Structures are given as C-alpha cells and as structure tokens.
Amino acid sequence: MTIRIVLVDDHPVVRMGLRGMLDAEPDLQVVGEAGSGAAGVELAAAERPDIVLMDLRMPDGDGVSATERILATVPGTRVMVLTTYESDRDILRAIEAGASGYLLKDATPQELADAVRAAARGETVLAPSVASTLVRQVRRPAPPALSAREAEVLRLVAQGHTNADIGKRLFISEATVKTHLLRVFNKLDVADRTAAVTTAMRHGLL
C-alpha cells in the first residue's frame, strides 16, 4: 500500500528536499504541498492523505492550529510535526493538539521514512529529545495549591502593593498579610516576594 503524504512548510527549499527524500521510497508518495497552515488545511481536505508532515511556525496560522483543524475535519489523516523547534511549550501544544509524532528536521532520510510508516500504522513517533521532554513533564511534581486568600494576597503583591496596602484592601491586619505570605513562601519554596510571584506565574497560579 502506498502511503499518501501532504507537506506543509513555508520554505519551498525544505518542501523540495522532503519531496525528493520521500518520493524515493517505493511505498511513499507526496501528493501535495502547502506553504502555510491555512493552505495545509485546505489541501488536506481536498487530498485526504494518510499523513500530513506539518511545520510548527508559519504565516497565516501556526502548525498547532492547522493540526487541530485537520484532525477535526479530515478523519483518518494523521499529522506528524516536523520542525526545528523543540521547546517544552511547542512540544506539549503539538501533542495536545493530537499530533501523532514530533520529529526534528535533523532526522536522517531513513528515520523520516520509517517514522512516516510508523505513524501510518497508528504508532506515535517522537524524536529522542522530544520523548525525554515529555517524560520530564510527566515526572515534574504538580504545582502547589494556594488557598483563595493566599492567591489574592500574592496577586496584589504582583501588582506592587505593600503589605499595608494589601491589608487595607482585604480588610485584614498587616500581620495577617505577612502570615499569608509566609505560607506562600513555604508552599513555593522561595525566600522573598519577587521569587514568589515569578514562581507562581511559572506554575500558572497567577
């Protein structure tokens, strides 16, 4: 069975190279190319390929949005991300959008061809560094939970208010404000107000 592939990448030279590599395989066939996310969605709907190789950052809609739209509108098509970006945020967004794989553009022709075949079989294909990132995310401890009052106090700290200002706004004593902040410092394992704010923001608590 021939695996039909659509390429979505905003660089023509990259698309040309990928087409050459994939078409050299007897069981792989590139049936179309698109230079943007929106064009990729339209092409996938028209061609209904087995696999879409999707870049992440492109004009006219990023690869994650395009992935979501393709999977919602073209049943049976699998999307594999092929990109130069491997930040935690990029990887998690792509996987959460439903991508069947995440490869980097330094993959060899054989690795790419094998990955396409694996994705077509329904397997998930990840570059080693990407797999390590996902494992690290799973193992990362859950962010500490702040009480509603602690979060309220910390939000006011983030806005630049002093303990006295916060006490007046929340109708509590300055000593109570300090108590809430000490509990926040303990939960976030920090020693000062600035670190508390930045750590809370990193964990999505503010």
Round to whole Å and give the CA distance between 82 and 107.
Answer: 9
With beta carbons less than 8 A apart as the criterion, state whether 69 and 41 touch: yes
Summarised one tens digit per residue, pLDDT across range 46-95 is 999 999 999 998 877 789 999 999 999 998 999 999 998 877 778 888 88
Round to whole Å and give the CA distance between 180 and 185.
Answer: 9
Sorting pLDDT into bands at 50, 70 and 90, what band is 44?
A: very high
Q: Which residues pair with residue 78 across a beta bridge?
A: 51
Q: How many CB atoms lie within 10 A of CB 176?
A: 16
Round to whole Å and give the CA distance between 123 and 51.
Answer: 12
Phi and psi angles of residue 99, each rounded to the nearest 5 degrees, phi first = -60, 140
Q: Which two tokens stand for residue 60?
A: 């006219």
